[in-house]
Structure 1
């Protein structure tokens, strides 16, 4: 085993693909013309001659949105973003999110509101109002006094006669402050024109140190004798300490063609079979099953289905990984690795978030010990919306009381998981100095 990876581990002690075609259950999927509404997504779908147009709705605005978890225009024969078709009838359209398996139902409405048939206005005030409305729609309220402050600042920006709001740095900073006021750990704002990305979460460890540590880990993993799979998302192998390392760098893009897909789940299953074979060899040589070190330090999440599949393979249990709005997230596939290891520890940090937090919590319920720092506290699945000037905003899609663990208990949204053993920051985010690599 390469000494550099051993040193690190010792020191630590929006286009989807998949099966979204035009057939469902072996039969042709025919869409009925009409207007359909989703209270979950706060969006309308208009079907006309098997072409679907998506309108994003707020009380003050409604328009044909060019971004989000579904494209603005698509058909049943084309992929609907990060969803696959589940079924269609006269009254309903049903999709399944590829990231977590959650169903999304659109129900027939009499008419598309007149609000949706006119062009959306573009001004700083409209951008503020739209963001505030969207936050309210997804359970992240802004107080009336705060709204007055944000609208006043937007009025000042509008008075400066800025012609291109998509390139307005002042508006980007204003909306970033507004998002921070929402207290949603998932919230972010993206402007491709400005090449700016703002995330609400404040990290104790600076961006430079986090990126340096992440890159140094990947470099040392690559130089080690560890195995890797699924586009270098997974790394595994025996360490000279006798512990068995399983690094889960991310829970998405396990295959190059898609962030979330059936192919990704199959890749994970193949990797777990390889890990099972390696663990059997280790047990034969050592005379006992090893303990695991599961590294989630830099894992910001991804697919709850991947997380469930991994947790249930390591230690199968009757209960699901999570229960979201009454829907059980429970992906169970072979192999069963539970007799090939003696549990162990899971390394977590403030970067560990979303599906990775669900995975860490699920492993804790399966007998693993959490070591590191408080995790981010962003358990709720996210949704993505478009602002009138074209910027993308993301936020938690469900209120905290609808996001439960597999036992039906509340999860610490915004607070994060408290580790069983706290580790110092310099151990979790090694700077990659010469001494650490010897």
Structure 2
């Protein structure tokens, strides 16, 4: 998906529409809106959705699904104004060429975000709800204050409202906050939750994510990952022994740098890659239409990668390293050794296969590569929000290519003791497959 080619198609379509409309040889095509409003509301969405309590919709799987709803609506709102540039997602209505893109973006994002925050179930206390709604009201009022009053503002608001309404209606009864996908199985090879200090099981805050209706792919299991190696196989023993030595909390063979990297990556991929996208949108001077398309494909692909990933997690129900290593005497493999009391550097409350972080990162990166290529001139910056890092640790890192963080992430999850290598590799394959499918079937350029 070449951004320059896409923008050139848009320009040709705009010029053609003026000529066919009989405006005369002296008429110029309308100036495309820039991406300022699209990027701003993406940042507002990230900041808003990331602070919802985990079980109420703020954990990474739900967070990514909520981002998809927001960015899908923003895309439709922008795409509905003026000549049709790309295939619509849900809204096929057209609004005037001079309708305010800023008002459309603000309205679409505001209405979706307000609905998500307002309707989030208080599974755990949500004391910040009213503050988030107030902040959204303030952002929206400021956005409309920056648009001249009149018919073009009203047309933009109408476009944004149509997009938000279509998205919210489409997602009614979509499986969010539905039943848990987990079926308890005490047999060797199956996941079992850790216990907290009071002896209670530490469970997935979003065990329903694998049952949510996808945005782009055809089913929740369309890209089913390969099963893990057989417990009695040499391949399985090699993976267990690798994590047992390097992923342990104490006495590990990790270097100090590997420990740092493992801790650095313990933050939401949604936050990370939307930040990178905004920086590259600005650096490459994308239009509002181009930016909305990028962020929609990126976040809807991320949501579907999450959905398929969580469906796979509970389908395979494969045990984590801390289950496998402490119970190695039950796996029937002479090449593994049980180690009671073994603990990982970092833990997570759901099954191993596939790696959720790798599913999401690979989907986001696949889309960013489509627009900008793998090697980025001048590199790109990522700022970790990990709470596992010591206060003095460097939060900001630079990468030259998208291949670098993906390769590092596979290792980082092993260094952390979180995953077996096959779970990381399968996660990245799933995310890539979802993004490629989404790009092939949605948001394609239209017209001449």
TM-score > 0.5 by shorter chain: no
Give the structure, 1 or 2, with the largest relative contact order (CA under 8 Å, sep 6 or more).
2
Return the structure number with greater strand share. 1
TM-score of the pair, normalised by structure 2: 0.21
Greater helix share, 1 or 2?
Answer: 2
TM-score norm. by structure 1 comes to 0.22
